[in-house]
């Protein structure tokens, strides 16, 4: 028996097996790498007040759905819709949830985005607050007064609509453009006479400092909330957006069925008491639908009104921000 020959044969076989294993591993890594390169991360902008997205982030279900497709999910928090859409405009995020006015201002600024879906109307979720000891009893009495609100947010449209309803001009008030946290600070120290704000901040101010709601948006504006995405991302990643909206809708259903539990989970995220959050959650529908002509007509009215007030530089066609086909 030639032991030397047998050893060489065994050695060659072992090296062959090792080579096959290494090649297989390299091929798998190359496939993984190619998959990661062909599927960019999904960068989601959210606000703490966007309860469905906040819970989706906390529960991690979207990551589980997208992981097999090689898609990483990245989350970025914003104070309000205008700031979120500014980030989308410069390419820092791909997707977000905002009120009805931020898309109008973003479109006027040249942002390349599309509407993905909308929440059914939720007018009870916003209103105008005054301090508990304020002598003001109606919105008409705010003529000549300071009203705090986030410029380009949904409550901006509420203020404009209320002015029209009460026969006042935009110049009849002194708008004080502040993000929610700064607006509340100004409101508490008496630097403004009223504050236009949405839930949960609206409910929190009423419960915590005794703020009085002068008027809600009910009967004044529809108050649609929108899911939007950058056009380049939406055109190339429709399956990812489809999965995202499926998971958001599941969260919305869970919130409707388990409102108290949802409030408890949101408390450490939103920094508010569960009972305050629960009040706000009940003011939102948590039902999301594809856009229809009525919703787009409402958006067009907003765009036209802000152009007439010279708050945006040109007349817009909001339907230019609708993606052809389904996402």
On whether both 290 and 142 belong to a single domain, the answer is: no
Q: Which of 180, 196, 216 is the last residue of a domain?
A: 216
79: closest CA among 201, 186, 216, 258? 201
Give a yes or no: residue 3 inside a domain: no
Q: Are 155 and 126 in contact (CB under 8 A)?
A: yes
- At 33 the pLDDT is 40
Q: Which of 164, 195, 216 is the last residue of a domain?
A: 216
77 three-class SS: strand
On whether both 240 and 110 belong to a single domain, the answer is: yes
Can you give the CATH number for the domain in which 314 is found?
3.40.190.10
On whether both 230 and 303 belong to a single domain, the answer is: yes
Give a yes or no: residue 157 inside a domain: yes
Give a yes or no: residue 246 inside a domain: yes
Q: Which of 194, 216, 238 is the last residue of a domain?
A: 216
- At 188 the pLDDT is 97
The whole-number mean pLDDT for each consecutive block of 10 residues of the chain, a chain of 327 residues, reads 43 42 37 54 93 96 96 94 92 95 94 95 95 96 97 94 96 96 97 96 95 96 95 95 97 97 96 94 94 95 96 96 74
On whether both 203 and 243 belong to a single domain, the answer is: no
- At 294 the pLDDT is 95
pTM to 2 decimal places: 0.82
Give a yes or no: residue 15 inside a domain: no
Number of domains in the chain: 2
Give a yes or no: residue 247 inside a domain: yes
Give a yes or no: residue 108 inside a domain: yes
On whether both 229 and 314 belong to a single domain, the answer is: yes
On whether both 262 and 178 belong to a single domain, the answer is: no
- At 38 the pLDDT is 65
Instruction: Give the pair of three-digit tokens for residue 27.
Output: 């091929």
168: closest CA among 143, 138, 196, 136? 143
Give a yes or no: residue 21 inside a domain: no
On whether both 136 and 171 belong to a single domain, the answer is: yes
What is the span of the domain harbouring residue 90?
40-120+224-321
- At 323 the pLDDT is 86
Q: What does the alpha-carbon distance between residue 87 and residue 44 come to, in Å, rounded to a whole number?
A: 10
> In the beta sheet, which residues pair with residue 97?
227
Instruction: Provide DSSP, 138-169.
Output: SGGGGTT-EEEE-TTSHHHHHHHHHHHHTT--
């Amino acid at each position: 028996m030639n032991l030397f020959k047998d050893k060489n044969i065994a050695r060659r076989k072992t090296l062959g097996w090792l080579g096959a294993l290494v090649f297989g591993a390299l091929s798998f890594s190359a496939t993984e790498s190619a998959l990661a390169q062909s599927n960019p991360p999904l960068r989601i902008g959210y606000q703490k007040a966007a309860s469905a997205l906040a819970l989706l982030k906390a529960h991690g279900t979207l990551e589980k759905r997208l992981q097999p497709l090689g898609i990483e999910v990245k989350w970025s928090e914003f104070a309000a819709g205008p700031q979120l859409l500014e980030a989308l405009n410069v390419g820092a995020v791909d997707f977000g949830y905002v009120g009805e006015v931020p898309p109008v201002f973003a479109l006027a600024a040249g942002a390349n985005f599309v509407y993905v879906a909308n929440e059914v109307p939720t007018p009870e979720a916003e209103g105008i607050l005054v301090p508990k000891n304020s002598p003001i009893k109606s919105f008409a009495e705010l003529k000549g007064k300071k009203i705090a609100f986030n410029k380009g947010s949904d409550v901006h449209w509420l203020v404009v609509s209320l002015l029209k309803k009460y026969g006042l001009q935009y110049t009849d008030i002194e708008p004080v453009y502040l993000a929610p946290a700064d607006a509340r600070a100004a409101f508490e120290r008496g630097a403004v006479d009223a504050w236009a704000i949405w839930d949960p901040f609206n409910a929190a101010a009423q419960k915590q400092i005794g703020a009085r709601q002068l008027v809600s948006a009910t009967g004044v504006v529809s108050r649609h909330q929108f899911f939007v995405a950058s056009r380049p991302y939406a055109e190339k990643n429709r399956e990812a957006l489809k999965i995202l909206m499926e998971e958001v809708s599941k969260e919305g259903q869970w919130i409707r069925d388990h409102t108290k539990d949802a409030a408890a989970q949101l408390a450490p995220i939103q920094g508010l008491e569960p009972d305050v959050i629960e009040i706000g959650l009940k003011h939102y529908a948590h039902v999301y639908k594809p856009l229809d002509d009525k919703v787009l007509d409402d958006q067009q009215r907003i765009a036209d009104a802000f152009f007439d007030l010279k708050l945006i530089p040109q007349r817009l066609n909001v339907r230019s921000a609708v993606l052809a086909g389904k996402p």
